[in-house]
Structure 1
Amino acid sequence: MMIYVLYGGQSPEHEVSLKTAATVLKALNTQKHEVYPIYISREGVWTSLGKMPVEGLSAANLTPVSRHANAASSLGEVLATEFSLVGEKVALPLLHGANGEDGTVQGLLELLAIPYVGNGVLSAAMTLDKDVTHRLAGLAGIRQTAYEIVTRRQWEEDRAGIMSRLEKRGLLPGYVKPATLGSSIGISRCEDRDALEAGIEEALRHDAKLVIEREVLGREIQVAVMGNDQPQASLPGEFLHGVKFFDFHAKYANPKLQMSIPAEIPPAAAKEIRESAIRAYEALCCSGLARVDFFFGDDGLIYLNEINALPGFTGTSMYPVMWERTDGTTYAALIEKLIDYALERKRAQASLNGSIR
């Protein structure tokens, strides 16, 4: 099988994607598959590295310089030389954030009739948008903390009114989040009015829509979910990081970061979290994989935090480790399972009456 590994991308999570790609490429079985790494630069220029040799690639060679000046001509070459190859194929879009995790690349792959690992166009777009996630999870009856949505236009037209509304909702202390970014980029923890105003200004540098959430006192618990029509949830896990705000630096550069899997929580809470994870997964029409994050509050209640449709696969990422601790699935075996789910979904689409596939 030909496997196209797409990585890099134009989002602020470019570096995270490189780390994920380096780990995935090392784990892929090049004796079993023909692997084609395809790099997308910060400017959106596509570059194929060609068929990966059996000995693999070093991380230093993952960011080649393209001879193309723009995305259109570079993508045209990749379409002509790689995606047009005859044979069974599947894509691994290891692109975090906008222009990769939001349904855009998934739409391109749908047009090319290439099966791909992970969520489809609709679920990818919905899960990346924290506002939409909140709305659909609420309709599914999943508990969440109090929150408000603020857009750039609203902020520019009525800053005082927005601040008054947020304070009346009791959202301090709380978090200001860009609606469509991950890895805690652009997020601020705010304890007072001045910090809230500054946090909104910072987040608007990254997104035109923000989610402001009331802080939940407690612990953040994560669950890995995998599957299509019958998704399964892993044992819950927890990062032990010792910081009040688990920001980008704490996630990716903290040498003291430790995983606790399974998380040391009461059995009833673990059961509720796993069941709620599957409910959220289904409510957002997910398929393939997702990581669902919750807060286990000091009040003993479970609150949904967010759904990550393309969780990190680096050496310190929670998702693959949770599956290994749950049922012994190794990193390499996990990738093969996800490829199987991609092919299964493609077969299901092709079986529909009127399908053009």
Structure 2
Amino acid sequence: MNDIIRVGLIYGGKSGEHEVSLQTALAVIKAFDLSKYEVTPIYITKEGEWRSGPALSAPVDSVQSLTFEQNAAHSGTAVLKPIFNALQSSTSGGAAEALATDTAFDVVFPLLHGTYGEDGTIQGLLEMANIAYVGAGVLASAVGMDKVMMKRVFAQEGLPQCVFRHFTKAQWQKDHAFFLMEIEVSIGYPCFVKPANLGSSVGISKARSREELLEAINLAFQYDRKIIVEENINAREVEVAVLGNDEPVASVVGEIVSSNEFYDYKAKYVDGKSTMIIPADLPQETAELIRDLAIRAYMAVDGSGLSRLDFFLRKEDGAVFINEINTMPGFTPFSMYPLLWKESGKPYAQLLDELIQLALERHQAKQQLQYSFDA
């Protein structure tokens, strides 16, 4: 391998979290040590078009420059075949028009949040192309993205969770009266309604009555065919960053004090008024319990690279409940993941170095496997 590691940075995408991905990409690109890495931005539009600019030789100043809208030379679209050629080949060939690069990548860093990025789809593409990539694999990404499957895996692992119910749009249309009754009897009000396959609190509502519940369900179905309804817990929201492959480690525990009633999209990314307390003011045994649960959850979904684990700490009795795993947490200026590691002794640049190395190590280990059988 060359001394300079060639990184393809994929961001944007067909997702409700497109703008979050752009902010993450800008922050990551500005943090890369360009004396160690050659970074090629690869932007996916909201319509699914793949675009790329030249390898970076200096930090990027704005999100707009990352979308290549003002650069006609690099605004062409790409179909699947030339993308594969560009990822796998070190010659320009037919891939030059698609990705505007004459080099292959040593590793790809997908910074795609939500649908088509955090759900195992881009990971499957990279697996088929036999390209090293940062973050969770296909299985962990898919399970972590689907809140219903995630909670089922957590239940199998014996992790404590709040009460929840779930159903598809077809099930709801067939017998909505049954699901209304089940929610009101087993969960009650207030409750939270969420699309099963989305992040960044997009499409999430807090329902305090049947009327609000119906509105929340209709909103959630705009983003996914399957939704989940969870009980409301009077709790503190705490988070842990996990890093590693076969021997993952957990950061210190941080706490989110939301600027809104709950930690919604605006509180996360827009107003910048939510408070992050790092480390969280917790008894040592509680912090250790949360860190242990985070590692167990990470390994339960077969995580690799990185994830952020979110928990509820019930105020009445201090009981801990796992909320979810995020296999591609944000790296925006307001993001908890890099801040947790900074407090744990890993500054941003070192964190990126370790993520790249973890991706290369995981890829190298997979190359030792045998994928054919001589019968």
Instruction: Tell me the TM-score normalised to structure 1 length.
Output: 0.94
**Matching residue within 263, 266, 269 for 2:280:** 263
Asked if 1 retains the 8 angstrom alpha-carbon contact of 2:53 and 2:74, the reply is no
Aligned counterpart, 2:13 = 9
Ranges in structure 1 where 5+ consecutive residues have no aligned partner = none
Take 2:270 and 2:142, find their aligned partners in 1: how far apart are those partners?
28
Aligned counterpart, 1:198 = 215
Asked if 1 retains the 8 angstrom alpha-carbon contact of 2:88 and 2:104, the reply is no
Q: For 2:49, give the aligned amino acid.
A: V
Take 1:247 and 1:59, find their aligned partners in 2: how far apart are those partners?
22
Bigger Cα displacement from structure 2, 22-31 vs 50-59 = 50-59
Matched, 1:49 2:53: yes
Q: For 2:89, give the aligned amino acid.
A: S
| 1:60, distance to aligned residue in structure 2 (A) | 2.3
Cα distance per residue 1:64-120 (max 9 Å; x no partner):
24789996x444444434542266600000000011111111111111111000000
User: 3-state SS of the aligned residue for 1:158?
Assistant: helix
Aligned counterpart, 1:221 = 238
Take 1:41 and 1:305, find their aligned partners in 2: how far apart are those partners?
31
Alignment of 1:95-174 (within 5 A): 95-174=112-191
Aligned counterpart, 1:302 = 320
Relative to structure 1, is the Cα distance of residues 129 and 18 closer, same or farther in structure 2, using a 3 angstrom cutoff? Answer: same
Asked if 2 retains the 8 angstrom alpha-carbon contact of 1:147 and 1:171, the reply is no
**Matching residue within 22, 40, 46 for 2:44:** 40
Relative to structure 1, is the Cα distance of residues 155 and 12 closer, same or farther in structure 2, using a 3 angstrom cutoff? Answer: same
Aligned counterpart, 2:85 = 80
Ranges in structure 2 where 5+ consecutive residues have no aligned partner = 91-102
Asked if 2 retains the 8 angstrom alpha-carbon contact of 1:190 and 1:196, the reply is yes
Take 2:30 and 2:83, find their aligned partners in 1: how far apart are those partners?
22
The number of residue pairs the alignment matches comes to 354
Matched, 1:18 2:30: no
Cα distance per residue 1:118-156 (max 9 Å; x no partner):
000111011000001100000000000000011101111
| 1:31, distance to aligned residue in structure 2 (A) | 1.4
**Matching residue within 339, 342, 349 for 1:321:** 339
Asked if 2 retains the 8 angstrom alpha-carbon contact of 1:349 and 1:355, the reply is no
Aligned counterpart, 1:333 = 350
Relative to structure 1, is the Cα distance of residues 355 and 110 closer, same or farther in structure 2, using a 3 angstrom cutoff? Answer: farther
User: 3-state SS of the aligned residue for 1:10?
Assistant: coil
Aligned counterpart, 2:33 = 29
Instruction: Tell me the TM-score normalised to structure 2 length.
Output: 0.90
Asked if 2 retains the 8 angstrom alpha-carbon contact of 1:44 and 1:70, the reply is no
| 1:290, distance to aligned residue in structure 2 (A) | 0.3
Percent identity of paired positions between Structure 1 and Structure 2: 44
Aligned counterpart, 1:247 = 264
Aligned counterpart, 2:97 = none
Asked if 1 retains the 8 angstrom alpha-carbon contact of 2:87 and 2:105, the reply is no
